[in-house]
Amino acid sequence: MTLWLMAGLLFTPLAWAVLTLMVDFRKGRLVTWLGMAVQVLVSLGLWAAVASDGGFLYLLGGWQAPLGIELRVDGLAVTFVLLTALVAAACGWHASIYLDPGKPWHRYFWPLFWFLWAGLNAVWLGGDLFNLYVGLELISLAAVGLVALGGQADALRAAIRYLMAALLGSLAYLLGVALIYGQFGTLSLAGVTELMNSGDAQSGQTFPLVLMLLGLALKTALFPMHGWLPPAHGIAKSPVSALLSALVVKASFYIAARLWLDLGGELGGFALAQLIGVLGSLAIIWGSWLAFRQTKLKQVVAYSSVAQIGYLFLLFPLTWGVTEAISLQAQQGITLQVISHALAKAAMFLAAGNLIMSVGSNRVDALAGVSRFLPFSLFSFGLAGVSLMGLPPTGGFAAKWLLLQASLASGQWWWLAVLLAGGLLSAAYVFRVYRASFIESTDTDQFYHPSRSLEVIPMILALMSLGLGLVAEPVLSVMSLPFEGGGQ
């Protein structure tokens, strides 16, 4: 059964990419709805299978690890596969109504969308360092194509900037892979970890790890390498921005985290871990401040992504040189942060798209008066904002609570200040948007009403992000399932 699920999971996005390439936007929409249903069901099935039987290794082509490519299907991977299925399906559904079918280039949205999805799944499951590189490139090129779609000069500038950053990041990662292969003669991450921990092998080099982390941090837009993110996420169509912010940046972070957790203990050091943590903190403060200062609505949301990504990098100091229990707590906190940010940010971008559609302008101060006309989308925006601020009972709160406990338990109290300041600053930029929308004195009374389903989708996502705090326990229990539990 699981073999069928795996085949379905790998096959569907790639096959649907080809299918939708053959038809125009309207037919592609119908085809995509079917594909999204299949993909969500398959992801749910796989998640349930792993939740009940534990993780397993999937041998592609039937070849074992050093020779072939193994996929590592564990609790964390299927959690992200499921998250991707939910968020991507929501964005795809939104896009199918939001995008104008009359524009000839929108037909190419669907194939790129499906390739992006395929690349994300490849990264969550990948256990082979070089295969992860190909997966990353699949994601980057599809994402750049989506940003540039039908591009006018500003979108192209953002897309080119994004492409250049992504390519440089991938090359730094690939150089690290080349060095690691040169030293160990294998590309399997599990194999390298085993060799390094076996003791008798010569000690590894730190430089390859630093290179890979640097490249991946550039692709994740860690401060101060975040310059490419706000233009690209701000100028893309709202469903695309939602996909990029919610999922794409997480892919490179996921690889960095896996590398750190497997190799960081041997190759990393206190200084490296703290340095990454400090950069993450600066990202939180600086990103939130810039979000507060932006005049365009989507730029506010995009800079908020820079800030929220900063939290993720607290994983590095909180898992280095601490006890197993604290490390697990930090990992759980970061996982919750990834999930809740993905849901909340997707909701926020989709709601922002609705608001922009409604007022016909992308400026924050143009929102004046919209609170009377579009309370539903505005409410979704606010709910997502509550999760970003980290107020209980949201997923954002649960995540930050775990991080707080981990930093106290590990004696690194200085992250506490960052966590608190980040929450306050995010409250500031969310309330700024709210304040603008409640101003009544305005000359425009004409608002366009987006269709009901456009408004429902961000609401669902925001509610899921809100509810995540209540169901954190079962989600985390699947994530931390012992890998060896299933049939290896």
Partner 1 sequence: MSRFLGITVLAAVCLVFAGALMITVWQIAGTQAPVDLPGLLADNLEASGVEHPITAVLLNFRSYDTLLEIGVLVIAGIAGISMANTASLEDPELRTSDSLLYALQRWFVPLMLVLAGYLLWAGSDRPGGAFQAGAVLAASGVMMRLGGIPMEFLRPGVLLRLGLALGFSVFLLVAVVSAMAGDAFLAYPDAFTKPLILIIETVLTFSIAMVLLALFVSAPVNGAEEPEEGESG
Partner 2 sequence: MTPSLLYAFAGVALCGIGLFGFLRLQHLLRKLMAFNLIGSGVFLVMVGLAQRNGQPDPVPQALVLTGIVVAIAATALAVVLIRRYYHLSGQTTLAEPAAKSARPKARSVNREGAPE
Residues 200-239 that bind partner 1 (CB under 8 A): 201-202, 205, 207-208, 235, 237-238
Q: Which is nearer to partner 2, 170 or 238 (CB)?
A: 170
Beta bridge partners of 363: 296
Does 108 bind partner 2 (CB under 8 A)? Our answer is no
**Rounded CA gap, 110 and 19, in Å?**
9
Half-sphere exposure of 342 (CA within 13 A, CB side): 27
Does 175 bind partner 2 (CB under 8 A)? Our answer is yes
Does 447 bind partner 1 (CB under 8 A)? Our answer is no
Beta bridge partners of 58: 71
Give the nearest distance from C-beta 67 to partner 2 in angstroms: 9
**Residue 157: contacted member of partner 1, partner 2, none (CB under 5 to 8 Å, by partner type):** partner 2
From 68, 185, 360, 474, residue interacting with partner 2 (rule: CB under 8 A): 185
**Residue 171: contacted member of partner 1, partner 2, none (CB under 5 to 8 Å, by partner type):** partner 2
3-state secondary structure at position 60: strand
From 160, 328, 428, 460, residue interacting with partner 2 (rule: CB under 8 A): 160
Give the nearest distance from C-beta 176 to partner 1 in angstroms: 10
Does 182 bind partner 1 (CB under 8 A)? Our answer is yes
Does 202 bind partner 2 (CB under 8 A)? Our answer is no
**Rounded CA gap, 12 and 192, in Å?**
31
**Rounded CA gap, 189 and 128, in Å?**
6
CA neighbor of 479 nearest in space, from 342, 260, 333, 313: 333
Binding mask 88-107 for partner 1 (x = CB under 8 A): ---------------xxx--
Beta bridge partners of 72: 57
Q: Supply 424's token pair.
A: 């306050």
Beta bridge partners of 296: 363
H runs (alpha helix) in 236-365: 238-243, 249-259, 265-267, 270-293, 297-312, 315-319, 324-359
Residues 120-159 that bind partner 2 (CB under 8 A): 130, 133-134, 137, 140-141, 144-145, 148, 151-153, 156-157, 159
Beta bridge partners of 70: 59
Give the nearest distance from C-beta 214 to partner 2 in angstroms: 12
Q: Which is nearer to partner 2, 33 or 130 (CB)?
A: 130
Residues 50-79 that bind partner 1 (CB under 8 A): 58-63, 66-69
Give the nearest distance from C-beta 416 to partner 1 in angstroms: 34
Q: Supply 135's token pair.
A: 């997966």
Q: Which is nearer to partner 2, 148 or 389 (CB)?
A: 148
Binding-site residue total for partner 2 (CB under 8 A)?
31
> What values do phi and psi take at 37, rounded to 5?
-60, -45
Neighbouring CB atoms inside 10 A of 194's CB total 15
Does 174 bind partner 2 (CB under 8 A)? Our answer is yes
H runs (alpha helix) in 62-148: 75-98, 109-125, 129-148
Give the nearest distance from C-beta 122 to partner 2 in angstroms: 13
Q: Which is nearer to partner 1, 117 or 401 (CB)?
A: 117
**Residue 161: contacted member of partner 1, partner 2, none (CB under 5 to 8 Å, by partner type):** partner 2
Does 60 bind partner 2 (CB under 8 A)? Our answer is no
**Residue 81: contacted member of partner 1, partner 2, none (CB under 5 to 8 Å, by partner type):** none
- The answer to whether the beta carbons of residues 288 and 429 sit under 8 Å apart is yes
Give the nearest distance from C-beta 107 to partner 2 in angstroms: 17
In which residue are the tokens 């005049």 written?
295
**Rounded CA gap, 266 and 254, in Å?**
19
Does 289 bind partner 2 (CB under 8 A)? Our answer is no
Cα dihedral 57→62→66→69 (10° resolution): -70
Q: Supply 430's token pair.
A: 């969310």
Half-sphere exposure of 19 (CA within 13 A, CB side): 17
Residues near partner 2 (CB under 8 A) are 130, 133-134, 137, 140-141, 144-145, 148, 151-153, 156-157, 159-161, 163-164, 167-168, 171, 174-175, 177-179, 181-182, 185, 187
